[in-house]
Amino acid sequence: MKNHTWHLTTTIRSFIVCIWIFLIYLFLYMPSLINVIYKQKGITVLTWPAFIDAQYLQEFEQKTGIKVNVRYFDSNEELYVKIKKTGGQGYDLIIPSDYILDTLVKENLLKKIDKTKLHFFDQLYPHLVGAYFDPENNYSIPYWWGLWGMAIDRSYFGDQKLPESWSLIFNREHVGSHTISLDDGRELILIAAQYLFGNVDRLDQQQLTAVCKLLIRQKSWVEVYAEIDRANFLLASKICPIGIMVNSIVSRVMSEIPDIEFIMPGEGGFLQIDSFAIPKTATNDKEIYEFLNFMYSREAMQHHTSKFGFFSPVKNVQHTNSLMAFPTDEQIKKAQFFRNIVSREYISDIWIALKS
Protein backbone atom coordinates (compact mmCIF):
# COMPACT_ATOMS: atom_id res chain seq x y z
CA MET A 1 0.00 0.00 0.00
CA LYS A 2 2.83 2.35 0.89
CA ASN A 3 4.55 1.59 -2.44
CA HIS A 4 1.31 2.29 -4.28
CA THR A 5 0.90 5.64 -2.48
CA TRP A 6 4.55 6.54 -3.17
CA HIS A 7 4.19 5.75 -6.89
CA LEU A 8 0.96 7.76 -7.08
CA THR A 9 2.57 10.74 -5.34
CA THR A 10 5.60 10.53 -7.64
CA THR A 11 3.38 10.36 -10.72
CA ILE A 12 1.37 13.42 -9.62
CA ARG A 13 4.55 15.39 -8.90
CA SER A 14 6.01 14.42 -12.29
CA PHE A 15 2.79 15.46 -13.98
CA ILE A 16 2.84 18.82 -12.20
CA VAL A 17 6.49 19.35 -13.21
CA CYS A 18 5.59 18.56 -16.84
CA ILE A 19 2.71 21.03 -16.70
CA TRP A 20 5.01 23.75 -15.40
CA ILE A 21 7.64 22.99 -18.04
CA PHE A 22 4.93 23.18 -20.71
CA LEU A 23 3.68 26.51 -19.37
CA ILE A 24 7.21 27.94 -19.25
CA TYR A 25 7.91 26.90 -22.85
CA LEU A 26 4.50 28.22 -23.89
CA PHE A 27 5.36 31.57 -22.30
CA LEU A 28 8.82 31.72 -23.89
CA TYR A 29 7.71 30.75 -27.37
CA MET A 30 4.29 32.39 -27.44
CA PRO A 31 5.48 35.25 -29.73
CA SER A 32 6.78 32.73 -32.25
CA LEU A 33 3.57 30.72 -32.04
CA ILE A 34 1.51 33.85 -32.61
CA ASN A 35 3.66 34.74 -35.63
CA VAL A 36 3.08 31.28 -37.08
CA ILE A 37 -0.65 31.27 -36.38
CA TYR A 38 -1.27 34.76 -37.69
CA LYS A 39 1.56 34.69 -40.24
CA GLN A 40 3.07 37.94 -39.01
CA LYS A 41 5.39 39.44 -41.59
CA GLY A 42 9.01 39.68 -40.61
CA ILE A 43 12.62 39.61 -41.81
CA THR A 44 15.96 38.92 -40.16
CA VAL A 45 18.98 41.07 -40.98
CA LEU A 46 22.55 39.94 -40.20
CA THR A 47 24.77 42.99 -39.89
CA TRP A 48 27.86 44.53 -38.36
CA PRO A 49 27.32 46.43 -35.09
CA ALA A 50 26.82 50.19 -35.57
CA PHE A 51 25.41 49.78 -39.07
CA ILE A 52 21.68 49.69 -38.34
CA ASP A 53 19.85 51.52 -35.55
CA ALA A 54 17.39 48.89 -34.32
CA GLN A 55 15.37 51.46 -32.36
CA TYR A 56 14.93 53.61 -35.45
CA LEU A 57 13.19 50.69 -37.16
CA GLN A 58 10.18 50.91 -34.84
CA GLU A 59 8.53 53.49 -37.09
CA PHE A 60 9.01 51.20 -40.09
CA GLU A 61 7.56 48.25 -38.18
CA GLN A 62 4.50 50.22 -37.06
CA LYS A 63 3.86 51.60 -40.52
CA THR A 64 4.31 48.35 -42.47
CA GLY A 65 3.57 45.62 -39.92
CA ILE A 66 6.93 44.06 -40.83
CA LYS A 67 8.97 42.97 -37.83
CA VAL A 68 12.72 43.45 -38.32
CA ASN A 69 14.97 41.15 -36.30
CA VAL A 70 18.54 42.44 -36.23
CA ARG A 71 21.37 39.98 -35.61
CA TYR A 72 25.07 40.80 -35.48
CA PHE A 73 28.45 39.38 -36.50
CA ASP A 74 31.97 40.53 -35.62
CA SER A 75 33.95 39.48 -38.68
CA ASN A 76 33.48 38.60 -42.32
CA GLU A 77 34.76 35.13 -41.55
CA GLU A 78 32.02 34.64 -38.95
CA LEU A 79 29.41 35.81 -41.48
CA TYR A 80 30.77 33.45 -44.12
CA VAL A 81 30.66 30.43 -41.80
CA LYS A 82 27.06 31.18 -40.79
CA ILE A 83 25.87 31.48 -44.38
CA LYS A 84 27.97 28.56 -45.65
CA LYS A 85 26.84 26.11 -42.97
CA THR A 86 23.15 27.03 -43.06
CA GLY A 87 22.87 27.95 -46.73
CA GLY A 88 21.63 31.30 -45.44
CA GLN A 89 18.46 29.85 -43.95
CA GLY A 90 17.00 32.07 -41.25
CA TYR A 91 18.43 35.26 -42.76
CA ASP A 92 16.76 37.58 -45.27
CA LEU A 93 19.49 40.20 -45.64
CA ILE A 94 23.21 40.23 -44.85
CA ILE A 95 25.91 42.93 -45.09
CA PRO A 96 29.24 41.35 -46.14
CA SER A 97 32.38 43.23 -47.13
CA ASP A 98 33.46 43.12 -50.76
CA TYR A 99 35.95 40.25 -50.62
CA ILE A 100 33.55 37.94 -48.77
CA LEU A 101 30.70 38.95 -51.06
CA ASP A 102 32.94 37.90 -53.96
CA THR A 103 33.22 34.45 -52.37
CA LEU A 104 29.48 34.19 -51.64
CA VAL A 105 28.68 35.03 -55.28
CA LYS A 106 31.15 32.44 -56.61
CA GLU A 107 29.74 29.78 -54.29
CA ASN A 108 26.18 30.49 -55.45
CA LEU A 109 24.95 31.42 -51.97
CA LEU A 110 23.17 34.66 -52.93
CA LYS A 111 19.90 35.46 -54.66
CA LYS A 112 19.83 37.78 -57.66
CA ILE A 113 18.47 41.24 -56.84
CA ASP A 114 15.50 42.60 -58.78
CA LYS A 115 16.62 46.20 -59.26
CA THR A 116 13.24 47.14 -60.74
CA LYS A 117 11.88 46.90 -57.17
CA LEU A 118 14.45 49.39 -55.83
CA HIS A 119 13.37 53.04 -55.85
CA PHE A 120 16.82 54.45 -55.17
CA PHE A 121 19.37 52.60 -57.29
CA ASP A 122 19.93 55.51 -59.69
CA GLN A 123 20.79 57.70 -56.67
CA LEU A 124 23.86 55.67 -55.68
CA TYR A 125 27.30 57.20 -56.20
CA PRO A 126 28.95 55.90 -59.41
CA HIS A 127 32.22 54.93 -57.71
CA LEU A 128 30.33 52.44 -55.51
CA VAL A 129 28.68 50.40 -58.25
CA GLY A 130 30.14 48.08 -60.88
CA ALA A 131 32.99 46.83 -58.68
CA TYR A 132 34.99 43.72 -59.54
CA PHE A 133 33.12 41.47 -57.10
CA ASP A 134 29.72 42.23 -58.70
CA PRO A 135 30.15 44.16 -62.00
CA GLU A 136 26.41 44.39 -62.73
CA ASN A 137 25.36 44.66 -59.07
CA ASN A 138 23.21 41.60 -59.56
CA TYR A 139 23.80 40.46 -55.97
CA SER A 140 24.75 43.52 -53.94
CA ILE A 141 23.71 47.06 -53.03
CA PRO A 142 26.47 49.25 -51.52
CA TYR A 143 25.64 50.46 -48.01
CA TRP A 144 28.84 51.34 -46.08
CA TRP A 145 32.05 52.44 -47.77
CA GLY A 146 35.40 53.95 -46.94
CA LEU A 147 38.85 54.68 -48.33
CA TRP A 148 41.86 53.30 -46.46
CA GLY A 149 44.84 55.59 -46.02
CA MET A 150 46.69 57.15 -43.08
CA ALA A 151 45.72 59.47 -40.24
CA ILE A 152 48.28 61.64 -38.47
CA ASP A 153 48.34 63.95 -35.47
CA ARG A 154 49.70 67.13 -37.04
CA SER A 155 50.61 68.57 -33.62
CA TYR A 156 53.18 65.78 -33.19
CA PHE A 157 54.94 66.50 -36.48
CA GLY A 158 54.68 70.30 -36.35
CA ASP A 159 55.83 71.97 -39.57
CA GLN A 160 57.67 68.87 -40.74
CA LYS A 161 56.89 68.16 -44.38
CA LEU A 162 55.66 64.59 -44.67
CA PRO A 163 55.52 62.53 -47.85
CA GLU A 164 52.05 61.47 -48.96
CA SER A 165 53.15 57.86 -49.12
CA TRP A 166 52.76 54.54 -47.33
CA SER A 167 56.42 55.09 -46.40
CA LEU A 168 55.07 56.98 -43.38
CA ILE A 169 53.98 53.59 -42.09
CA PHE A 170 56.66 51.31 -43.49
CA ASN A 171 59.82 53.48 -43.37
CA ARG A 172 61.12 54.19 -39.86
CA GLU A 173 63.04 57.25 -41.00
CA HIS A 174 59.78 59.13 -41.44
CA VAL A 175 58.02 58.23 -38.20
CA GLY A 176 60.36 56.62 -35.70
CA SER A 177 57.95 54.75 -33.46
CA HIS A 178 54.45 54.64 -31.96
CA THR A 179 52.77 53.62 -35.22
CA ILE A 180 49.29 52.09 -35.23
CA SER A 181 49.14 49.14 -37.57
CA LEU A 182 46.16 47.00 -38.57
CA ASP A 183 44.93 44.07 -36.51
CA ASP A 184 44.04 42.27 -39.73
CA GLY A 185 46.67 40.17 -41.47
CA ARG A 186 44.99 40.06 -44.87
CA GLU A 187 44.53 43.81 -45.19
CA LEU A 188 47.96 44.60 -43.77
CA ILE A 189 49.65 42.25 -46.26
CA LEU A 190 47.92 43.90 -49.21
CA ILE A 191 48.74 47.43 -48.02
CA ALA A 192 52.39 46.46 -47.62
CA ALA A 193 52.30 44.88 -51.09
CA GLN A 194 50.89 48.07 -52.59
CA TYR A 195 53.72 50.05 -50.99
CA LEU A 196 56.33 47.68 -52.39
CA PHE A 197 54.91 46.80 -55.80
CA GLY A 198 52.03 49.11 -56.65
CA ASN A 199 49.48 46.79 -58.27
CA VAL A 200 48.21 44.03 -55.99
CA ASP A 201 45.90 42.05 -58.28
CA ARG A 202 48.15 39.07 -57.64
CA LEU A 203 51.30 38.24 -55.66
CA ASP A 204 53.88 35.58 -56.42
CA GLN A 205 55.95 33.77 -53.81
CA GLN A 206 58.92 36.10 -54.16
CA GLN A 207 56.71 39.13 -53.58
CA LEU A 208 55.02 37.51 -50.59
CA THR A 209 58.42 36.81 -49.07
CA ALA A 210 59.35 40.48 -49.49
CA VAL A 211 56.07 41.53 -47.84
CA CYS A 212 56.73 39.22 -44.91
CA LYS A 213 60.22 40.65 -44.39
CA LEU A 214 58.87 44.21 -44.51
CA LEU A 215 56.15 43.51 -41.94
CA ILE A 216 58.57 41.76 -39.57
CA ARG A 217 60.95 44.73 -39.86
CA GLN A 218 58.07 47.17 -39.30
CA LYS A 219 57.10 45.36 -36.10
CA SER A 220 59.95 47.07 -34.22
CA TRP A 221 58.28 50.49 -34.46
CA VAL A 222 54.62 49.42 -34.26
CA GLU A 223 53.09 50.53 -30.97
CA VAL A 224 49.98 48.38 -31.39
CA TYR A 225 48.07 46.30 -33.92
CA ALA A 226 44.57 47.70 -33.51
CA GLU A 227 41.08 47.51 -34.92
CA ILE A 228 39.84 50.74 -36.46
CA ASP A 229 37.72 51.92 -33.52
CA ARG A 230 40.60 51.45 -31.09
CA ALA A 231 42.95 53.15 -33.55
CA ASN A 232 40.59 56.13 -33.52
CA PHE A 233 40.86 56.28 -29.72
CA LEU A 234 44.66 56.04 -29.78
CA LEU A 235 44.85 58.96 -32.21
CA ALA A 236 42.32 61.09 -30.34
CA SER A 237 44.04 60.51 -27.00
CA LYS A 238 47.45 61.34 -28.56
CA ILE A 239 48.95 58.01 -27.53
CA CYS A 240 50.03 57.40 -31.12
CA PRO A 241 50.64 60.08 -33.79
CA ILE A 242 50.04 58.02 -36.92
CA GLY A 243 48.18 54.97 -38.08
CA ILE A 244 46.49 53.11 -40.90
CA MET A 245 42.88 54.30 -40.97
CA VAL A 246 39.73 54.46 -43.07
CA ASN A 247 38.43 57.94 -43.90
CA SER A 248 34.82 57.35 -42.85
CA ILE A 249 35.95 56.32 -39.36
CA VAL A 250 38.69 58.87 -38.73
CA SER A 251 36.36 61.67 -39.88
CA ARG A 252 34.54 61.32 -36.52
CA VAL A 253 37.74 62.31 -34.68
CA MET A 254 38.64 65.00 -37.23
CA SER A 255 35.36 66.81 -36.58
CA GLU A 256 36.33 67.19 -32.91
CA ILE A 257 40.14 67.43 -33.02
CA PRO A 258 41.51 69.80 -35.70
CA ASP A 259 45.05 68.39 -35.33
CA ILE A 260 44.03 65.06 -36.87
CA GLU A 261 44.58 64.89 -40.62
CA PHE A 262 43.83 62.17 -43.15
CA ILE A 263 46.38 61.44 -45.89
CA MET A 264 45.66 59.48 -49.04
CA PRO A 265 48.93 57.77 -50.12
CA GLY A 266 50.30 58.68 -53.52
CA GLU A 267 50.59 54.97 -54.31
CA GLY A 268 46.83 54.78 -53.86
CA GLY A 269 44.55 53.69 -51.05
CA PHE A 270 42.05 50.87 -50.71
CA LEU A 271 38.33 51.18 -51.30
CA GLN A 272 36.13 49.03 -49.05
CA ILE A 273 32.44 48.52 -49.76
CA ASP A 274 30.04 46.65 -47.47
CA SER A 275 26.78 45.80 -49.22
CA PHE A 276 23.32 44.47 -48.59
CA ALA A 277 22.86 41.03 -50.15
CA ILE A 278 20.06 38.45 -50.09
CA PRO A 279 20.85 34.82 -49.19
CA LYS A 280 19.65 32.37 -51.82
CA THR A 281 17.26 30.68 -49.38
CA ALA A 282 15.42 33.91 -48.45
CA THR A 283 11.70 33.80 -49.32
CA ASN A 284 10.28 37.05 -47.91
CA ASP A 285 10.89 39.04 -51.08
CA LYS A 286 8.09 41.57 -50.64
CA GLU A 287 9.19 42.45 -47.11
CA ILE A 288 12.87 42.51 -48.10
CA TYR A 289 12.37 45.10 -50.85
CA GLU A 290 10.07 47.20 -48.70
CA PHE A 291 12.77 47.29 -46.03
CA LEU A 292 15.54 48.13 -48.52
CA ASN A 293 13.57 51.04 -49.97
CA PHE A 294 13.02 52.32 -46.44
CA MET A 295 16.69 52.02 -45.47
CA TYR A 296 17.87 53.86 -48.59
CA SER A 297 15.35 56.68 -48.25
CA ARG A 298 17.00 60.03 -47.67
CA GLU A 299 15.54 60.30 -44.14
CA ALA A 300 16.72 56.85 -43.01
CA MET A 301 20.12 57.28 -44.65
CA GLN A 302 20.57 60.70 -43.04
CA HIS A 303 19.70 59.24 -39.63
CA HIS A 304 22.18 56.38 -39.88
CA THR A 305 24.92 58.56 -41.37
CA SER A 306 24.54 61.08 -38.53
CA LYS A 307 24.27 58.45 -35.78
CA PHE A 308 27.11 56.16 -36.83
CA GLY A 309 29.31 58.60 -38.75
CA PHE A 310 29.70 56.56 -41.92
CA PHE A 311 29.46 57.95 -45.46
CA SER A 312 26.19 57.55 -47.32
CA PRO A 313 26.14 55.61 -50.61
CA VAL A 314 23.12 57.73 -51.61
CA LYS A 315 23.44 61.23 -53.04
CA ASN A 316 22.10 64.36 -51.31
CA VAL A 317 22.80 63.20 -47.75
CA GLN A 318 24.65 65.61 -45.47
CA HIS A 319 27.91 64.59 -43.75
CA THR A 320 29.81 66.03 -40.82
CA ASN A 321 32.96 66.11 -42.95
CA SER A 322 31.75 66.68 -46.50
CA LEU A 323 35.22 66.90 -48.06
CA MET A 324 36.10 63.45 -46.73
CA ALA A 325 32.83 61.98 -48.02
CA PHE A 326 33.51 62.95 -51.62
CA PRO A 327 36.84 61.52 -52.84
CA THR A 328 38.40 62.92 -55.99
CA ASP A 329 38.37 61.05 -59.29
CA GLU A 330 42.13 60.58 -58.95
CA GLN A 331 41.78 58.98 -55.50
CA ILE A 332 39.09 56.62 -56.77
CA LYS A 333 41.14 55.77 -59.86
CA LYS A 334 44.16 54.81 -57.75
CA ALA A 335 42.17 52.92 -55.12
CA GLN A 336 42.35 49.14 -55.09
CA PHE A 337 40.32 46.49 -53.28
CA PHE A 338 41.36 43.99 -50.62
CA ARG A 339 41.01 41.07 -53.02
CA ASN A 340 41.20 37.35 -52.22
CA ILE A 341 44.69 36.85 -53.58
CA VAL A 342 46.49 35.52 -50.49
CA SER A 343 45.64 32.14 -48.98
CA ARG A 344 44.32 31.96 -45.43
CA GLU A 345 47.21 29.66 -44.55
CA TYR A 346 49.81 32.22 -45.64
CA ILE A 347 47.97 35.02 -43.83
CA SER A 348 47.96 32.89 -40.68
CA ASP A 349 51.70 32.15 -41.02
CA ILE A 350 52.61 35.83 -41.34
CA TRP A 351 50.29 36.78 -38.50
CA ILE A 352 51.88 34.21 -36.21
CA ALA A 353 55.33 35.55 -37.12
CA LEU A 354 54.23 39.10 -36.26
CA LYS A 355 52.50 38.24 -33.00
CA SER A 356 55.12 35.81 -31.66
d(CA 134, CA 102): 7
Q: What is the pLDDT of residue 295?
A: 97
CA-based nearest residue to 269, from 172, 179, 195: 195
Domain that holds residue 183: 146-270+333-355
d(CA 36, CA 291): 21
Q: What is the pLDDT of residue 355?
A: 80
Q: Report yes or no: 171 and 154 within 8 Å, Cβ to Cβ.
A: no
Could you tell me if 134 and 71 lie in one domain? Answer: yes
Dihedral sign for Cα 150, 152, 154, 159, please.
Answer: negative
Specify if 19 maps to a domain: no
d(CA 348, CA 344): 6
Could you tell me if 243 and 348 lie in one domain? Answer: yes
Could you tell me if 216 and 169 lie in one domain? Answer: yes
Q: What is the pLDDT of residue 256?
A: 85
Q: What is the pLDDT of residue 49?
A: 92
Half-sphere exposure of 273 (CA within 13 A, CB side): 29
- pLDDT averaged per 10 residues, the chain (length 356): 54 63 46 44 94 94 95 94 92 97 96 97 95 96 95 90 92 81 93 92 92 94 90 90 91 86 93 97 96 97 91 89 77 91 90 84
Q: What is the pLDDT of residue 249?
A: 87
Q: What is the pLDDT of residue 37?
A: 42
Q: What is the pLDDT of residue 228?
A: 84
Half-sphere exposure of 108 (CA within 13 A, CB side): 0
Q: What is the pLDDT of residue 40?
A: 61
Could you tell me if 140 and 277 lie in one domain? Answer: yes
Could you tell me if 151 and 266 lie in one domain? Answer: yes
For the entire predicted model, the pTM comes to: 0.84
Specify if 37 maps to a domain: no
Q: What is the pLDDT of residue 132?
A: 94
Could you tell me if 265 and 157 lie in one domain? Answer: yes
